[in-house]
Amino acid sequence: METAPGLAEILGHFSWDVPWLVALIGAEAAYVWAFRGSRNMGRGHRHPWWKLWSFSAAILLIAAATVTPLEHYGNEVLWLNFLGFLLLTMIAAPLIAMSSPLTLALRATGPVGRSRIRRVYRGRVMSALTFPAVTWLGFAVATYAWQFSPLTDMATRNDLVRDLQQSTLLVVSVLFWWPALGCDPVRVQMNHPLRVFYIGVEMVHKGLFGGMFLSMTSPFHDGFATHLPAWAPSPMTDQRVGILILWIGGNLIFVLALVFLVRQWMLYETRNTARIDRRLALGREAARQKRLALEQVFERGV
Mean pLDDT of the residues in the chain: 87
Q: Which string of DSSP letters, residue by residue, matches 236-248?
A: HHHHHHHHHHHHH
Residue-wise pLDDT tens digits, 30-45: 999 999 888 777 666 7
Q: In the predicted model, is pLDDT for residue 1 greater than 60?
A: no
Residue type, 120: V
Long-range contacts of the stretch 31-34 (C-beta < 8 A, 24+) = 31/55, 31/56, 31/99, 31/101, 31/104, 33/108, 34/104, 34/105, 34/107, 34/108
Name the pTM for this structure.
Answer: 0.87
Q: In the predicted model, is pLDDT for residue 204 greater than 80?
A: yes
Could you give the percent of the chain with pLDDT greater than 70?
97
Residue-wise pLDDT tens digits, 87-112: 999 999 999 999 999 999 888 887 88
Q: Predicted confidence band at 177 (pLDDT cuts at 50, 70, 90)?
A: very high
Q: Per-domain residue ranges for the chain? A: 7-301
Q: Which among 67, 68, 59 is positioned nearest to 24, based on CA atoms?
A: 59
Q: Alpha-carbon distance 243 to 225, whole Å? A: 15
Supply angle C-alpha 151, 154, 158, rounded to 5. 130
Whether residue 183 contacts residue 122, with contact meaning beta carbons closer than 8 Å, is answered with: no
